[in-house]
Amino acid sequence: MAVNAAGLRAANDALAPNDLDAWWLPFTANRAFKSKPRMIARAKDMHYYTPDGRAVLDGSAGLWCCNAGHNRDPIVSAIQAQAAELDFSPAFQFGHAGGFALASRLAALAPGDLDHVFFCNSGSEAVDTALKIALAYWNVRGQGSRTRLIGRERGYHGVGFGGISVGGIVSNRKFFGTLLAGVDHLPHTYSREHQAFSRGEPEWGAHLADDLERIVTLHDASTIAAVIVEPMAGSTGVLPPPKGYLQRLRQICDRHGILLIFDEVISGFGRLGHAFAAERYGVVPDMITFAKAVNSGTVPMGGVLVRKGIYDAFMQGPERTIELFHGYTYSAHPLACAAALATLDLYREEELFARAKRLEPVLGEALMSLRGLPNVLDIRTLGLVGAIDLASRPDAAGARAFEAMDRAFQEFGLMIRITGETIAVTPPLIISEDQIGELVDKLGRVIRAVA
């Protein structure tokens, strides 16, 4: 018997909807999911809860974003209060106090003279914004020949056309044509032969930054606008930067007058024990992209921190002239700003960045205890992040990690993130030492179960 549209909508308002067809889930095997759904009904602090009330320990901070934990009361209250006062304010030719307050707070957190913030709504938009700022900057400086963008193999910079062009994950690129012209890539920094079972930054690999000199020689510096890298490559499987690598990139960019962009959508806001990874490594890039944990994932928000000299280069000509023809309807959305201000307060009051730094060796030691389990090929840890590479099954690449993710949720009450055959562990910064033990114990049982 057919169900009318109104009845179907009503049924799907329940915690356990009876029709999963309409939603095309992103980065998901939709048919496999809909045959065996992993449904989430609510969340609090370190846990998700299924519709039947089962607690699931969050080992992935949602999607690298809920660094302050879930449904924290101060953030919820700030969103509710803001919605009741100012629901939306246009950012084109108008402003609101929350946007200016948040920009000031973020500039104060950032290293060096990264004093200006351009707001958007996601990491993908932040990357495309940074790339556009780089190209426009060289135009206003009278060096319009600098149009080439340099990314890195295995890099992830979101899903906009700019981001997938400078990104280096094959599946994210291969279906979408030729992408942006004039893009080149540095080699990735991972070598299992030289770096296996590394805790922290590996000793081997700083020399890989020197490949930028080869690219400069090939194209000439006068054609290169910017280099963009993740300080720690996250979505590709957690690749910590080799010791000295980022410092070398900065030196080469300085030598040739090339802008350096750090994509800190994942590494920002405490993940590596500092407000930004740039601080951990003592490197001041020309721009930093951020999103995700800026408001603990509660309301979509992203942005770009920009050095003073870049901003000042645009502030020329008649005062009534628009300096940069770029922006988004929801830039600095009032609810997102309110959530971010409350989140920054939590980070400060609970000293969560320092907490992540203190827990780094605890998580690292716990994860390394899984070495020697069946099919474990490598383990990497850095900050409050870890990755475990599993061996593939014959003729079924990715199947073992996928089963691990599914069984972790369905049978062991644990949420983990997977990429290919890599399990990523990225818990909220509020995790306790006991919960780290629980997480790793469950992960060990999962790995044995999929052996």
Beta carbons within 10 angstroms of residue 299's beta carbon: 21
Beta carbons within 10 angstroms of residue 106's beta carbon: 25
Report the distance separating Cα 422 and Cα 187, nearest Å: 20
Report the distance separating Cα 301 and Cα 291, nearest Å: 6
Report the distance separating Cα 189 and Cα 319, nearest Å: 45
Per-residue pLDDT tens digits of the chain, which is 451 residues long: 344 555 555 556 655 677 899 999 999 999 999 999 999 999 999 999 999 999 999 999 999 999 999 999 999 999 999 999 999 999 999 999 999 999 999 999 999 999 999 999 999 999 999 999 999 999 999 999 999 999 999 999 999 999 999 999 999 999 999 999 999 999 999 999 999 999 999 999 999 999 999 999 999 999 999 999 999 999 999 999 999 999 999 999 999 999 999 999 999 999 999 999 999 999 999 999 999 999 999 999 999 999 999 999 999 999 999 999 999 999 999 999 999 999 999 999 999 999 999 999 999 999 999 999 999 999 999 999 999 999 999 989 999 999 999 999 999 999 999 999 999 999 999 999 999 999 999 999 999 999 9
Report the distance separating Cα 124 and Cα 105, nearest Å: 22
Report the distance separating Cα 291 and Cα 269, nearest Å: 9
List the domains of the chain with CATH numbers: 20-72+351-450 (3.90.1150.10), 75-350 (3.40.640.10)
Report the distance separating Cα 54 and Cα 236, nearest Å: 30
H helix runs in 86-184, sequence order: 97-109, 123-140, 161-166, 170-173
Report the distance separating Cα 203 and Cα 68, nearest Å: 31
